[in-house]
Amino acid sequence: MEPQKARDLLANAELIHSESAVQSAFCEVAGRIRERLADKNPLVLCVMTGGVIFCGQLLPKLDFPLDFDYLHATRYGPETQGGKISWRMAPWTSVKGRTVLVVDDILDEGVTLAAVKESLMRLGAAEVLLAVFTDKQNGKNKPIAADFVGLPVPDRFVFGFGMDVDGAWRNLPAIYAMKEAG
Q: What is the dihedral of CA 139, 140, 141, 143, to 10 degrees?
A: -130
Instruction: Return d(Cα 88, Cα 168) in angstroms, integer.
Output: 21
**Domain regions of the chain by residue span:** 3-72+88-176
**For 3-72+88-176, CATH number?**
3.40.50.2020
Tens digit of pLDDT for each residue in 151-181? 999 999 999 999 999 999 999 999 999 987 6
pTM of the shown model:
0.91
Tens digit of pLDDT for each residue in 60-93? 999 999 999 999 986 655 444 444 567 778 789 9
